[in-house]
Amino acid sequence: MNVTFVIRHFSDPSTKPALEERLVDLSDSFSRYFVNLRSVHWTITEEGASHSVACQLGARSGLYQALSTAADPFAAANETYEKLVRQRRRVKKQRIGGRRHAVARDSVAAEDSAEAQSGPEPT
């Protein structure tokens, strides 16, 4: 996995190493949700009193992007991480949900056809 950082217009250089360490930790924890991560690209921008954190993540399952803005860069990074995890869960739920619905539909159809072949139940 390739992790890159772009930090623009950052006025407090003392928090930069801690922020980079936090972003590496967050990038490592993506492996719990994403299979075969190829790249994680973080962009941190300070705009006045607010910080914007954008993340672009490339995995076997596709490309995911998120952007968050907060007063604290660590809070913005955490919020961006949560957005990406929610996106992945939503995509996975749609894929699995469709398969589960198809399996349930097939089993109901099989039961109906078996019932039609055996005829009506005696009363």
CATH of residue 19's domain is 3.30.160.100
Is 102 a domain residue?
no
- Ramachandran angles phi, psi of 118, nearest 5°: -80, -15
Q: pTM here? A: 0.75
**How far, in Å, are 104, 110, 111, 120, 121 from residue 117 at the CA level?**
20, 11, 10, 9, 11
Q: Which domain holds residue 81?
A: 2-88
Is 68 a domain residue?
yes
Is 118 a domain residue?
no
- When divided into structural domains, the chain yields a total of 1
Contacts of 90 (CB under 8 A, 6+ apart): none
How is residue 57 annotated by DSSP? E
Q: What is the pLDDT of residues 59-116, one digit of tens each?
A: 988 899 999 999 999 999 999 999 999 999 998 888 887 666 566 566 656 666 666 6
